[in-house]
Amino acid sequence: MNSLRGKTAVAGLGYAGLGSAPGWSPIELGAAAAERALADAGLSIDDVDGLCASTFYHFFPTTSFAEQLRIRPRWTNADMTGGSTFMAHIQQASLAIEAGLCETVLIIYGSNARSSRDIYGLIDLTPLQVAYQPLLPVGAYAMAAARHMHQYGTTREQMAEVAVASRLWARGNPDAALRDPITVADVLSSPMVCDPLSRLDCCLVSDGGAAIVLTSAERARDLRQPPVYVLGSASATWHRDISTMEDLTVTAAVQSGREAFAMAGLAPKDVDVVQLYDAFTILPILFLEDLGFCSKGEGGPYVENGGIAPGGRLPVNTGGGGLSFVHPGMFGLFAIMEACIQLRRQGGERQAGAPDVALAHGNGGYFSHQSTNIFGTAVTLR
């Protein structure tokens, strides 16, 4: 299980058009982000020989991006698992680099979810679910939240703490969309969307492009930025529809987390900073449990009293997450980027100390696919 540990590294990061970018297509936004990521790494587009991409809007995301960038990649991959896609791309691109199929991979994303008012794109919703108009995805997560409350006594106040913490972190992120502090009472009194989730329990709908450069560890050491090494990466696919999720309080993060930690040779106690997919406030609570940061049912108490806010027991979603920073349809790549920013110690006002190990966890579909990445600084390779 340690075959990929330390073999590849994130060498460059870029994003573009975050928030609102009317008149820009997802491909244009992603390509603008790619130029910034390459500049960040000190690389040229001619160095790129691999490409990973997925969007809500394209059957052919990698060919569309390759054409926009005018490159002829030797290896491409458009695995589509929802918001967790990009964590899976990290593993797939690492495999390709390790196998010698390519050396430098751009992982790109772009979305105009806000401007186009289209959060579904090409999504193939299941007919037997659509007929009941369940208001996906929020309806699915609302039922998971209701079940967690029923089984473990989790409260709306505890879920609200996740939103409150995200705002406190976002205050230190100049690129975050929502930077004004909120209170638990604000979350509880915001309009209900799908009980028990209110508007402030739900993520942003943004425009934006993002891109990262992944390359061999050897090459990354000669580039402009401190390498962020991939220590562990694993994914798990358990279902598609919320009706076929075996237990609404247990996600496939149990599996992806266990396998990513095994590859990294690390345990939750070794992680300094955590990025958890937070499309809705219940998600980080479930992932803290399933990834092993606390036991099942203890996620609510764990986030209480600022548990994951600045100065709390664990720095979680230090950029403000999908709740307060940005959420252009899929958040995965932004969670990865924040993990890298923290390990590069470039978080500015939101920098969470001097971390050496970061975890970025992605969620896709309706808890359908989970993917966990563990990253480390150079000291973790010694």
Residues at the site binding other proteins, with contacts judged by CB under 8 A = 126-129, 131-135, 139, 142-144, 146-147, 150, 191-197, 241-244, 248
Give least dist CB 248 to other proteins, A.
Answer: 6
Give least dist CB 143 to other proteins, A.
Answer: 4
Give least dist CB 242 to other proteins, A.
Answer: 7
Compute how many other C-beta atoms are within 10 angstroms of the C-beta atom of residue 353.
11
Give least dist CB 196 to other proteins, A.
Answer: 8
Q: Is 168 in a helix, a strand, or coil?
A: helix
Pick 40 or 201: Cβ nearer other proteins: 201
Pick 125 or 185: Cβ nearer other proteins: 125
Pick 29 or 245: Cβ nearer other proteins: 245
Angle of CA points 74, 76, 81, to nearest 5° = 170
Q: Is 331 in a helix, a strand, or coil?
A: coil
End-to-end CA distance of the chain: 18
Is residue 282 a contact partner of residue 148, using CB atoms and an 8 Å limit? yes
Question: CA-to-CA distance for 256 and 164, rounded, in angstroms?
Answer: 27
Angle of CA points 148, 140, 77, to nearest 5° = 115
Q: Which helix (H) or strand (E) holds 255?
A: helix 253-264
Pick 189 or 244: Cβ nearer other proteins: 244
- How far, CA to CA in Å, does 113 sit from each of 16, 104, 176, 211? 14, 29, 17, 17
Placement of tokens 């579909």 in the chain: 365
Residue 228 backbone phi and psi in degrees, to 5: -110, 105
Pick 138 or 352: Cβ nearer other proteins: 138
Give least dist CB 86 to other proteins, A.
Answer: 28
Q: Which helix (H) or strand (E) holds 265?
A: none
Give least dist CB 65 to other proteins, A.
Answer: 35
Compute how many other C-beta atoms are within 10 angstroms of the C-beta atom of residue 379.
9
Closest by Cα among 220, 352, 138 to 338: 352
Give least dist CB 130 to other proteins, A.
Answer: 10
